[in-house]
């Protein structure tokens, strides 16, 4: 059996949450799965829909992590068929005793921001001590692996396994019809799905959209997400007089979100590093590729593991508005986005969860 200990799990929303759900769903095809996860609103209803057992740890987070560690030890003590413990974060194994960890194979994921601490600081020391308990460390991209080595994490333990995606049909017909109807009068349709924060460079994308309008007066730019930059981005749209061309969608169903993505011509998210915060991978690039939509991503971070520059999409310096504009223009010229979209869709097939989980199991 496999045990997963995680701070991040649906119904809470986020990239790490859906990563760990994907891991659990893929592992269950290879043996029983038990998940220990933090409690969130509507967790009970969500857990009933899953094909594996989820134990929710309630209460104050500081105390809950001790209770979770104790419950995991008690559960494992009665099992003799444990194959591995999978952890979403170094903090999820921090309170497990070293002697317990030495007796069990622990595979811990690393993502980017959570390991990007200055060497010698208290939190860096905690991180190293916790990750030393692991049997293997799973980096979500080559960028994250290199960052980990820079931060003195043992290179011999690190293996790169990119997150996977599911290829099931997860768009309802009514949502696809609605998306096509709403977008039928626009070209090109450019889309960003992201938390709205400075490092996503959406402000510079908006400036590029303004420049593109002179050649593409029917252009539509859809921004799906919410966050600290929402007000600022709205002001930019107003100041640039782009209200008719830019649509913000702060919250919608996963089905309609996918329908809009599938109906778009280009996905754009040219992220940059902002302090410790960095795009370790960017699962949404894979989601776009799955639907045959090419991406424009940033040269910083892990996007290069997913975007084949010049073939399935383009990488650019997201700190330079002119570079984003050039990338958009290049994709639209001679409809290069069509061929790039085909390559992106084919390349995405290598990232099925079944393929990725087999790589993880081979490490055990």
DSSP codes, 99-149: HHHHHS-EEEEE-SGGG---TTSHHHHHHHHHHTT-SEEEESSHHHHHHHH
* pLDDT-above-90 percentage for the chain: 85
CATH 3.40.50.2000 in the chain is located at 2-160, 173-350
pLDDT at residue 275 greater than cutoff 80: no
Residue 228's pLDDT is what? 94
pLDDT level of residue 285 (50, 70, 90 thresholds):
very high
- In this prediction, residue 282 carries a pLDDT of 85
Mean pLDDT of 300-306: 90
| pLDDT computed for residue 78 by the predictor | 86
d(CA 312, CA 343): 5
The average confidence (pLDDT) of the chain is 94
DSSP per residue over 152-218, as a string?
T--GGGEEE----B--S----HHHHHHHHHHHTT-SSEEEEES---GGG-HHHHHHHHHHHTTT-TT
pLDDT of residue 26: 96
Q: Which CATH architecture has domain 2-160?
A: 3-Layer(aba) Sandwich (3.40)
Tokens of 312: 């399935």
The span from the first CA to the last CA of the chain, in angstroms, equals 12
pLDDT at 105 exceeding the cut of 90: yes
Find residue 3's DSSP bridge partners: 34, 85
User: Collapsing DSSP states into helix, strand and coil, what is residue 345?
Assistant: helix
Which tens digit of pLDDT belongs to each residue from 194-220? 989 999 999 999 999 999 999 999 999
**CA count, 13 A, side-chain hemisphere, 212:** 30
**Is residue 353 within 8 Å of 26, Cβ to Cβ?**
yes
Instruction: Tell if the pTM clears 0.85, that is, is over it.
Output: yes
Fold of the domain built from segment(s) 173-350: Rossmann fold (3.40.50)
Task: Place 271 in a pLDDT band, splitting at 50, 70 and 90.
Answer: very high
Closest CA to 233 of 258, 212, 206: 206
């Amino acid at each position: 059996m496999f045990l997963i200990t995680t701070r991040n799990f649906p119904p809470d929303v986020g990239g790490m949450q859906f990563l760990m759900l994907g891991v659990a769903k893929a592992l269950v095809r290879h043996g029983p799965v038990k998940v220990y996860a933090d409690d969130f609103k509507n967790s009970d209803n969500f857990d009933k829909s899953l094909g594996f057992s989820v134990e929710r740890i309630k209460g104050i987070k500081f105390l809950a992590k001790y209770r979770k560690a104790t419950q995991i030890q008690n559960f494992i003590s009665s099992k003799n068929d444990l194959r591995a413990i999978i952890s979403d974060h170094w903090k999820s194994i921090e309170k497990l005793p070293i002697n317990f960890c030495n007796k069990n194979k622990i595979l811990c994921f690393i993502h980017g921001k959570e390991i990007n601490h200055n060497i010698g600081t208290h939190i860096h020391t905690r991180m190293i001590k916790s990750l030393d308990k692991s049997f293997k460390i799973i980096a979500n991209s080559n960028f994250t692996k290199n960052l980990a080595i820079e931060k003195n994490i043992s290179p011999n333990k690190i293996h790169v396994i990119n997150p996977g995606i599911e290829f099931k049909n997860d768009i309802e017909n009514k949502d696809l019809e609605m998306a096509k109807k709403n977008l039928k009068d626009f070209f090109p349709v450019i889309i960003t799905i992201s938390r709205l924060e400075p490092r996503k460079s959406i402000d510079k994308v908006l400036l590029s959209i303004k420049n593109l309008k002179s050649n593409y007066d029917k252009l539509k730019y859809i921004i799906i997400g919410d966050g600290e930059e929402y007000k600022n981005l709205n002001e930019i749209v107003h100041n640039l007089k782009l209200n008719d061309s830019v649509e913000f969608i702060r919250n919608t169903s996963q089905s309609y979100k996918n329908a809009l993505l599938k109906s778009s011509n280009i996905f754009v998210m040219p992220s940059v590093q902002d302090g410790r915060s960095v795009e370790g991978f960017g699962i949404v690039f894979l989601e776009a590729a799955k639907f045959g939509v090419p991406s424009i991503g940033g040269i910083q971070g892990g996007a290069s593991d997913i975007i084949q520059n010049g073939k399935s999409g383009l990488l650019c310096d997201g700190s330079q508005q002119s570079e984003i504009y050039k990338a958009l223009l290049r994709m639209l010229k001679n409809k290069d986005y069509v061929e790039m979209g085909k390559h992106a869709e084919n390349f995405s097939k290598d990232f099925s969860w079944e393929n990725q989980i087999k790589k993880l199991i081979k490490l055990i």
